[in-house]
Amino acid sequence: MKFFSLFAVNPCCYYPCQNTGVCVRFGTDRFKCDCTGTGFYGENCTIPEFWTRFRLMLKPNPSIVHFILTHFQWFWNIVNNSFLRDTLMKLVLTVRTSVIPSPPTYNTEYGYLNWESFYNLTYYTRILPPVPEDCPLPMGTKGKPVLPDPRVLAERFYKRTKFRPDPQGANLMFAFMAQHFTHQFFKTNHKVGRGFTKALGHGVSAGNIYGDNLGRQLQLRLHKDGKLKYQLVNGEMYPPTASEVPVHMVYPEDFYPEQRLVIGHELFGMLPGLTMYSTIWLREHNRVCDILKAEHPTWDDEQLFQTSRLIIIGEIIRIIIEEYVQQLSGYMLNLKFDPVMLFNERFQYSNRISLEFSHLYHWHPLMPDSFIIDGDEISHSQFLYNTSILLHYGVEKLVDAFSRQSAGQIGGGRNSHESLLEVSEMVLKESRAARIQPFNEYRKKFKLKPYASFYEFTDDKEMAKGLEELYGDIDALEFYTGLLLEKARPNCIFGESIVEMGAPFSLKGLLANPICSPEYWKPSTFGGETGFNIVKTATLKKLVCLNTKWCPYVSFHVPRNEEEAKPRNPSTEL
């Protein structure tokens, strides 16, 4: 168990332990792999135990599973209308969520298990430990001595050459939901360090609606009937302005207080798509408060607010699983949100957001070259920090426009708008500061076959050649670069890795929410059967159409045909 070289090299820099075995260094040139719980044994955790060997024989290839789940419509029509739907959905949940370690393991500061990593919630957790600091090369022992310039990578491989729409049909309603939803738990605290988060909780807390701390929440609340503060514009409810609610929001300095809409998340004034969703959730919260007050006239402001918040969290989770995740997965199995499925399973109702998940979710290729609203074309520069767009067009026209316009394909590279390249460069720099392990090591962690070459990794030969020149070795390819440039699956929005890595993070975070536990998942938690039914019947269409004057075309998928694209009558459809 020795590596011989002119100078002593930390043997763990070679990533010698396979199948999630843990490398422990002894002395200067010795190591031991801890194979406990992996199902493997041997010096490098490579020899399968009997039941592991049997399981591996039966385990289908992820690509085959994905193909089956996205084809054979006749078969899935039968499944979706029988008991098999619940059986398969339960299997999906248990298999996916078991991949994510709970309790948490590593973080940016520590590459070994310790109490600080466990209890200090200000850290993002980590799935794999950082690259050891004393490795001879940035990514361990393979690749070039200097990683490629982030600007060069962005210009050569991230920057859009021609807009590629998502072949799965995702639209801008989906793209803005991705941002609005995830930024309640992706809130890096740059003032403390890039491995730290300032999010309220490590999951769906609706902190993007109510604020990430109690002080902000109290300022946003009306303190009457459980409601949030608002302003009326032409008789319609919108977020209040900074002149009325003086909480911190990020806007250009020349913005007057009357132009600054105040929202739970301080950055959501940046894009009209985010202020649109914030407006819809504001209206929904206050609508739910009215329903609860009518049923519980003795409840005070606090109980109305807190119960309404639980209902909103439930609505978010249901819409995300049954419509948003359904759209990005492309599965013909109809996904189902029913916490009862896991009540008799070995499952922990706690979650920690990992740094890798945060990096994986930078889906900038979703954004188009420009935005088409009510026949008007709006550039990125005109769209940014333009709160007048929401007030001018109204929620209905924005929803209708965003539901009709295609989002971009994420996998395959060369599809990010040039205005967003700077953010990608920032992610790369953050990844390097956190010493995130190579892309292939994460492939192994998530039971995927590591790529043998750049030419296997991408179908673009020119890109493969360029990456090989810059990185030197496929085993030195960075995590974020690998996720963004990996060849997309046929007719899919992503490459294989984002799906197989992202799904476990996502489903674990959603189902580990306290409201999904046996103690919470009951009518009384939500104020009775009426509130419980709001959660159990929530849809994107209801969310929009119960809070607008007229019901636009609303979906996470562009219209499939002319009939689907016609405006709806909310009185007949809800």
Place of tokens 């301080």: 266
C-alpha–C-alpha distance, residues 435 and 129, integer Å: 9
Residue among 466, 334, 503, 330 at smallest CA distance from 409: 330
Residue among 265, 276, 268, 283 at smallest CA distance from 210: 265
111's CB contacts (< 8 A; 6+ apart) are 129, 130, 132
Residue among 181, 168, 186, 162 at smallest CA distance from 407: 168
Residue among 106, 130, 128, 126 at smallest CA distance from 117: 106
393 is catalytic: no
Q: Give the DSSP per-residue string, 153-178.
A: HIIIIIB-SS--B-TT-BBHHHHHHH
Q: Are 565 and 183 in contact (CB under 8 A)?
A: no
451 is catalytic: no
Q: Exposed, middle or buried: residue 446 (CB in 10 Å: 0-12, 13-18, 19+)?
A: middle
Residue among 348, 8, 404 at smallest CA distance from 173: 404
Q: How far is CA 283 from CA 183, 287, 394, 437, 543, in A?
A: 20, 6, 13, 43, 9
Out of 124, 230, 238, 361, pick the active-site residue. 361
Q: What angle do CA 454, 169, 543 make, to 5 degrees?
A: 125
406's CB contacts (< 8 A; 6+ apart) are 165, 166, 169, 170, 171, 172, 368, 558
Annotate 427-439 with b (16+ C-beta within 10 A) or e (fewer).
Answer: bbebbbebbbbbb
211: left (phi over 0), alpha (psi -120 to 50) or beta: left
Q: What angle do CA 474, 478, 480 make, to 5 degrees?
A: 130
Q: Are 210 and 220 in contact (CB under 8 A)?
A: yes
Q: Are 124 and 353 in contact (CB under 8 A)?
A: yes
Residue among 290, 293, 360 at smallest CA distance from 328: 360
Q: Exposed, middle or buried: residue 115 (CB in 10 Å: 0-12, 13-18, 19+)?
A: exposed
The 3 state secondary structure assigned to 200-232 is CCCCCCCHHHHCCCHHHHHHHECCCCCCECCEE
Out of 15, 123, 180, 183, pick the active-site residue. 183
Q: Which residues partner with 323 through β-bridges?
A: none
What are the tokens at 340? 């009862």
Annotated catalytic residues are: 183, 361
